[in-house]
Amino acid sequence: MAHAPPRFLTYSVRMAGPEEVWLPLVDEPVGDIVARIQAEDPEIERLIGSPHRVLAFRTFAYIRVGILLGELLFEQERDVADADETWVEALLRDPRTREALHREVRAVAEEIAADPRYADDEPLGPDDAARDRFRAFARRQLAGD
């Protein structure tokens, strides 16, 4: 009988380019939790807006969220009523847990943003001026049709 792989496996993907960059990819639920918090808080994107910052952010956010979830698992008892869901889902139902996870992920983003090693990193996407130039170009192109 084949067994399902553990849910906390960590994989890496190597990106080709002038520099080697490794992006950790975490299987559910840790990766999903970090991604959800990141999507809910636009300030995190601003803080980690370069490839090296994203790599550092994901690495440390996954670790710290995993540690926090482990601590919470040992602190909170589960009863029979929780048997139909995973322990992570049960923890996430508690608003205090969600807030603690958000604080942890936000703290990682702020620490990465404050790290002087990333001060010269190029932004991950276009800056506001580049977006404005593209919008003006698109308007001119559409007006010419």
DSSP string, 116-138: GGGTTPPPSS--HHHHHHHHHHH
Q: Does residue 76 belong to any structural domain of this protein?
A: yes
Residue 101 in domain:
yes
> CA distances (Å), 75 to each of 72, 79, 97, in order?
5, 13, 12
What is the longest distance spanned by two Cα atoms in the chain? 67
User: 18-46 pLDDT, tens per residue?
Assistant: 555 555 555 567 888 999 999 999 999 88
Asked if residue 72 belongs to a domain, the reply is yes
Encoded amino acid at 37, one letter: I
What percentage of the chain has pLDDT greater than the value 70? 70
User: Does the bond joining 42 to the residue before it have cis omega, within 30 degrees of 0?
Assistant: no
The domain of 23 spans: 10-144
If one compares 141 and 78, the residue with the highest pLDDT of the two is 141
Given this model, what pLDDT does residue 50 score? 80
**For residue 103, pLDDT beyond 90:** yes
pLDDT at site 4:
41
**Using N-to-C axis directions, what is the helix angle for 30-40 and 95-114, rounded to 10°?**
80
pLDDT of residue 129: 80
Does 122 or 63 have the greater pLDDT score? 63
User: Within 10 A of 34 (CB to CB), how many other CB atoms are there?
Assistant: 23
Asked if the structure places residue 139 within a domain, the reply is yes
- Domain-located, residue 1: no
131 lies in some domain: yes
Residue 2 belongs to some domain of the structure = no
% of the chain surpassing 90 pLDDT: 25
Q: Is residue 69 part of a domain?
A: yes
pTM of the model: 0.63
DSSP result, 40-90: H-HHHHHHT-SHHHHHHHHHHHHHHHHHHHHHHHHHS---GGGGGS-HHHH
Number of domains in the chain: 1
